[in-house]
Amino acid sequence: EPTAEPTAEPTAEPTKLPIPMPTVAPGNPSKMPSSYPTPEPSSDPTVVPSSVPTSMPSALPTPAPEAGVLVTTPDWHTVSEESGKQTSSFEISLTAEPLDTVYVNFTSLGNTAMDPAWVKFTFGNYDTPQTVTVSGIDDSIDQGPWYKDHIDVNFTSADECKEGTRDLPCGQYVAYNGFDGTNSADGKSLRMDVNVTDDDTAGVQVTTTHVNTTFDNYGDALGEDMYGIRLTSEPRYDVTLSLSTDGRFSYTDVPSVTFTADDWYTVQYVTVTSSAATGRRPVCQDSLTREPAKYKQKCAELTGRKDVISHAFTSSDPFYTDATNSVQDVKIYSTVFYDPVLPPFLSTAKFTTLLNGVLVTFDKDTVQPGGAGSFECVSVLNLTVTKKTLGTDWIGDGALCSWLSASSLKVTFGMGPTVIPDDILHLKDGVVQSSNAYASLFAMNQSITILGPDKPTVPTVTFNAPQAIGVCDDLTLDASASQGSGGRDMTFNYTVKCSNADACANVTAVLDEANKVNGGTGTHTVTIPASVISKGLKMEFKLTASNFLGEMTSRTTSVEKLGYPAPNVAIQGGNPRETTYSEELVLRADASLPEMKCVADSLSNAKMTYVWTELTGQYTGSLSTTNPRILRIAKNQLLATKSYEFQCFVALTSNTENNNTASVVVDVTQQPVTAKIAGGKERASGTDQALVLDAGDSVDPDDMSDEWSYVWSCVNKTDGTVCKDTTGGQLQIQPNTTNALARVPAGKLYTGTYEFSVFVKKDDRNDTTSTTVVITAGAPPVVSIGTLSEDKYNPIADSYLRLAGSATSSGSIVSTEWTQVGSSVTGAFISGSDMRATGVVQLDALTAGVTYTFMLTAKDTFGESSYSTVEVVMNEAPSSGGLSITPSHGYVFETDFSFLSENWVDEDLPLSYKFVYTVGYEGSWTPVADAQASASYDALLPQGLVEDNYTLTGMTVVYDYYDSYSSATDTTRVLPVKYSTAQLANISAALTTEALELGDPEASMQIMGATHKSLSGGSSDERRKLTSSSEEAALRSALLETLQDTYAMSDITQANVDSMMSTLDGIVNAPNDLTTATAMDSLLFAQKLLVVSVDNEIGISATGTGYTGTALSKLLLSSMFNASDVTSVTSVSAENVTETLRYLSMAQLDGAYAGIGYTVSSSLIHSSSTREEAQYLGGDSKGVPGSNAKVSFPSNFSHAAKLKVSGTTYVDTRVVTLGTDIYTAYDGYGSTVASNMYGSSTYNTDLNSAVTQVEVMDEDGNVFDVGGLDPAEPIYVTMQATEPIDTNFSGWKMEKICYTDGQVLEIDCPLGKQTYTCDSSLGGVDGTYFLDFTCPGVVPTCMWWSEDEGEWPTKAAAW
């Protein structure tokens, strides 16, 4: 934990200022001249002799010459742009000797070039003609057949002449600079005209004059073609070519192309597509039929054709217009590509056996619109049309569709479907298509009559009723858990037979009225008032239930009315009920106090006694209970084929003669054996390898003592014949066909595909399974996959499947890879595991009801590869049911709310029901009770929030035999009742005491939930008070004591742990209202819940994890971590926090596989717990999501001396950040400061960072000693920093200057202003000096907490 260490007092180090010295010039500065003197004029002038004679001989004067230029040239220069094809020339000379060198430069308008571009004339060659060649400059612009240019002649000269340097006087020479005279040859201008013949032609070039396109059988574009376009000359302005076709059904990918002067020569490509020449889809609609034999793929509108693409110009360039230019048309030849297969046709639509869906099959594989998993049926079905025009709800609210295979679609009904056999199912047009890669046609106009099931389910009546009732009690007959409804209301009819026919009339009348409700369909639950049942009357009730197909069944139950008050007791579920040897039996008794309103007596207290017995004497195991209402018989205790009868005796503890009993017969059915062949469903082997097949993993779930027998056989899958060996004889399986192992020696099988089957038998049970073996040449790697432990797996969140594979080779295995074969599912494996021999599948990525094939492929150093496959069957969750909560509103502590979960359907019975709620509409769910056999439950609920109009959302979670689940919700309103804190404490204590005396810990938790919600008020804002209320503190302490008592009476299940953690979270949600003792006890209680969760191997749910995180965050703010001085409470509690978080991590990882991780995220606690094999940790990092906090492992981690772990050992890593300091903190002088101190009053800054905890454990929670790690490769812990850390401390150092004695300097330090008083004695002669001031600062120091020493050592001992 980085902690804050304040530095010592600020330091001030004066430095004397140097005395400034004046800077002067060398010499005497007072006599320094201000400027340099000007030299005096000389008295002796210098005479310059003249070179010009003072007198000239007499002669006639020579006239001054005139400048002239002689150019010999044709009237016109005619040249061509094309280099060297046509040139012209001229000669040029001067007519007079120039004063100086003359340069003659030739220029044009840019279309003509002169060679040379300039000539030079001197007095030596001025009259010598020089030849200049004229040629055209080639460009890319079309300017017509020819165009004009001209040549200008330009003269440049210095025109300087120095007398005596030339033969004649300078006046006899001519100036030529800027000469603009005429041609001396003809007196014409020196400008020469040039005709340039243009070799460019404006135009458009196309790369082809025809393209070929195709369109498919449906009429849509299929194959495309393209052609290119470019200009033949550079345009003066942008040129745009608009593209158009002469038909509406051929298309270019762009409407136009534009060329500029920069890209005119670059070919631009146009993509062309065509569709059928009609907008109808499919084109051949007249041939649509529901019969494949009558379907016609061809029709008159679906034919090939020829279209034309034309081009039009838009440009300011006169050579690129429609009037001056044209583009060759491009012809489009379109042809039809007919589908190689017809579109899919509906084959069948049939109700499922369970009546909760329709299975739709097609005559061929489809593209499976809607994708993998479940999706809304509107994607594939026309839900607005049926034979009876039922509307969109005919498949029920919440119905879903899923593809079980490429040709099989399942429609799973939602709640309240109305569809029946003989209704018409309509496919959505234009959606379902063949999976053939070249198919274009969709199923259109497809409908089919829905058939009834092959073997419809028959209702199963399940009574929840007492066998006897007290004299004052009403009788309730509850058959809400009956099955076979197909997801819709059944018809119920009650009748009764009595020991006294006359006394039976009133009971019959009540039943008759019940049978008339709901439009005459009756009701599954009937209450008969005590007043109509005679004392001592024995009644046999018969309930007949029928589903919407008319399938019906009946069941009877007998009830006797006692002559005295007696507790009500009934055992949930059917009677008789079935179980198996390999599953736990859970019997739950519903019990309540007897009514006393018809007798003179009253109850002295609510305490009841429960005694469970087994009446046949065949069961001799334990009958002890934690929750007195629930009897749990562990698996493997009840023997197959036996029948047992369990009885629950319930009596008033104060008077055991007031008692009642309920019993149930439990039949333990014999389970089938399952044949299994290790290695995989299909595998590859080599001709040079012995093949070994092992059926030793075959399963007898009843663990009967009889011996197994095995019979092996082999079939050549190519021709279906019995396998033959390489000699031609029948393949002999060694050592014999009755052994669990089947061995085929190397060299006995040719390459090919073989199916090996084993028939297993134990007593009178048997099973058969097979595996496919593909024999290839040589000796490829041997790849094997372990057998699966379950028949079905659930596609639910946080569920995983470990596929244990292996690969061996005579060389070395260089790679392994898992893939999923035969479906479009993606992301099936957790990250990285698909490249290991053992892969981990995320089951929620798979689709319910589908069987998947997974393949493991291995490659060795010889380049050989091999594979094995395994099949995984996905379970379907219960469906089509719903939840209702009554009444629609009520009051906290005063109203019992009834949850009713009905009409759920699943093939894997029995179903169990769990009821949960959340305050408002969404949030964390709190169970009201553990999962149970009864589909109804009465609960006391807490008040809602005012901002949600006091609404609570209830949910039923329905589980099948394999624990796959579905849910449904309903809402109700729970209004508050105003109580003072004292009144709330009294009513809570009274109700929880009664619940615990009744042996009902779940009711106790409901009452505590209502209490702490009332205590917090009706707002979502959790209260954080500055002062503590002693009354509320006492109530919270009392609630914790009640929670402890409730725990002692509760079975340890995930639901109960969730409920107790929820209650604990509510108790501690106001830390200021907790005494230190209550806070400490709350922390220990959380730890105890997590310990028993780990010990009982039940793990912890995401809901329980959330409650744990929030409860611990609140406890971190309690007084046990917020004392004004450090006490032993803090260190002990810190250790308890660490231990609690450790067990939370262990509970999260219970049963987890390598590569699995879980997180906790609450206000002050953020953690990550991951499990990995040691061999994969080297060089890896594990950290908290959303934080930089992490632990990084060295590359040699699994080989460290003290770890002593194999590469496949599971290693659990826990990384936690605590947003507050739970440990004792020290300052830089070793003095303790209050823990949880966020800021220092002295320095106004945080003293302590968040704490990061890292633990590396084995899967049993034993922390590894990592002292054996190589110091050169340590474990690194990275912590999250929220503030930048100054590592050079430059920000703490300031420089100032003291000028006078007593001067007070104000220094802006990072942690606040500081002052310094100057002392002249520290300065120079004038008292001035520099001041180096070090501000008070906080220096980060990384400290490690030692659990053994209870303090922060300077460095980690073990790391």
Instruction: Give the mean pLDDT of 298-304.
Output: 91
Instruction: Give the mean pLDDT of 1221-1250.
Output: 50
At 1292, the pLDDT band (50, 70, 90 cuts) reads: confident
Enter the DSSP assignment of 1013.
Answer: H
Residues 6+ apart with CB under 8 A from 103: 118, 119, 120, 155, 156, 157
Three-state secondary-structure class, residue 555 = strand
Does the pLDDT of residue 37 top 60, yes or no? no
Question: What is the reported pLDDT for 1345?
Answer: 67
* Rounded-to-integer distance, Cα 366 and Cα 439, Å: 10
Percentage of the chain surpassing pLDDT 70?
88
Least confident of 373-387, 901-915, 1124-1138: 1124-1138
At 12, the pLDDT band (50, 70, 90 cuts) reads: low
Q: How far is CA 948 from CA 133, 942, 1020, in A?
A: 99, 13, 10
Question: What is the reported pLDDT for 41?
Answer: 36
Question: What is the reported pLDDT for 739?
Answer: 84
Residues 6+ apart with CB under 8 A from 1058: 925, 926, 927, 1101, 1103, 1104, 1107
Does the pLDDT of residue 167 top 90, yes or no? no
Instruction: Give the mean pLDDT of 871-875.
Output: 96
Question: What is the reported pLDDT for 1248?
Answer: 59
Question: What is the reported pLDDT for 579?
Answer: 96
Question: What is the reported pLDDT for 842?
Answer: 95
The more confidently predicted of residues 1327 and 356 is 356
Does the pLDDT of residue 939 top 70, yes or no? yes
Q: Strands across the sheet with 1190-1192, in order?
A: 1181-1183, 1190-1192, 1276-1278
The more confidently predicted of residues 750 and 325 is 750
Question: What is the reported pLDDT for 923?
Answer: 84
- The tens digit of pLDDT for each residue in 474-502 reads 999 999 999 999 999 999 999 999 999 88
Does the pLDDT of residue 1233 top 60, yes or no? no
Does the pLDDT of residue 1166 top 50, yes or no? yes
Name the range with the highest mean pLDDT among 497-501, 662-666, 1163-1167, 1302-1306: 662-666
Least confident of 382-386, 513-517, 751-755: 382-386
Least confident of 293-297, 626-630, 850-854, 1050-1054: 293-297
Rounded (10°) angle between helices 1001-1016 and 981-997? 170
Instruction: Give the mean pLDDT of 116-131.
Output: 94
At 81, the pLDDT band (50, 70, 90 cuts) reads: confident
Question: What is the reported pLDDT for 21?
Answer: 35
Instruction: Give the mean pLDDT of 1037-1043.
Output: 97
At 1356, the pLDDT band (50, 70, 90 cuts) reads: very low
Does the pLDDT of residue 44 top 80, yes or no? no
Question: What is the reported pLDDT for 686?
Answer: 96
The more confidently predicted of residues 23 and 702 is 702
Question: What is the reported pLDDT for 1219?
Answer: 82
Enter the DSSP assignment of 591.
Answer: E
Mean pLDDT of all residues in the chain? Answer: 87
8 Å CB contact between 783 and 868: yes
Maximum CA pair distance of the chain?
Answer: 182
**Model's pTM, two decimal places?**
0.81
Question: What is the reported pLDDT for 187?
Answer: 86
Instruction: Give the mean pLDDT of 391-414.
Output: 90
Instruction: Give the mean pLDDT of 163-192.
Output: 88
Does the pLDDT of residue 536 top 80, yes or no? yes
Q: How far is CA 1342 from CA 219, 840, 1137, 1332, in A?
A: 72, 39, 21, 29
For the chain, give the number of residues.
1359
* Rounded-to-integer distance, Cα 774 and Cα 684, Å: 5
Give me 271's structure tokens: 């993509």
- The tens digit of pLDDT for each residue in 541-553 reads 999 999 999 999 9
Does the pLDDT of residue 1272 top 80, yes or no? no
Does the pLDDT of residue 766 top 50, yes or no? yes
Percentage of the chain surpassing pLDDT 90?
68
Does the pLDDT of residue 50 top 70, yes or no? no
Least confident of 461-470, 591-600, 1015-1024: 1015-1024
* Rounded-to-integer distance, Cα 1046 and Cα 989, Å: 12
Does the pLDDT of residue 811 top 50, yes or no? yes
Question: What is the reported pLDDT for 93?
Answer: 95
The more confidently predicted of residues 1010 and 1344 is 1010
Three-state secondary-structure class, residue 1113 = helix
Phi, psi angle pair for 948, to nearest 5°: -105, 20
User: Comparing C-alpha atoms, which of 1061, 1072, 970, 1066 is closest to residue 1017?
Assistant: 1066
